[in-house]
Amino acid sequence: MTTETIAPPRSADAARRTTNWEKWGWIYMRASGVLLVVLIFGHLFVNMVAGEGVKQIDFAFVAGKWASPFWQIWDTLMLWLALIHGSNGMRTIINDYVAKPGVRKTLLVAVLAACVLLIVLGTLVCWTFNPCPAGAAAADLPSFCPAQ
């Protein structure tokens, strides 16, 4: 015979005082989805339609874009929202379909670790990208960099 402990029912006051993380996750998914549509279509328009279209995309194009804080913020926001949105979706799928608590916890930790790692690395790339680093050999620099 197994003994199971059953948590005592929470009062209505106690339920109101706790944060409903599922509700806030649901709200985040809707809000971030709307923002991502705007950010992604703006990104696609600038990169694929405006100017010379797809053939304009090269190292110099990216360097020129990321020379502007506006595009750094745009791309960083798109990166953060997309990764958190996708990770939250994976969290929901794991919680819905993985029955074993140990496996569920392992998968959730892996999703969190991947999300944090990609956000950190992506943010570093967006904000520390320098196409013309000081001290680099002239042969290694793109043609648009001034001679050093």
Place of tokens 């600038």: 46
Distance CA 28, CA 92 (A): 13
| Cα-only R_g, the chain | 23
Cα distance from N-terminal residue to C-terminal residue, the chain: 80
**131 — pLDDT class (breaks 50, 70, 90):** confident
45, 49, 55, 58: CA torsion to nearest 10: -20
Each residue's pLDDT tens digit, 55-78: 888 888 888 888 889 999 999 999
Each residue's pLDDT tens digit, 84-108: 999 999 999 999 999 999 999 999 9
pTM of the model: 0.77
Place of tokens 């569920």: 104
Average pLDDT, the chain: 86
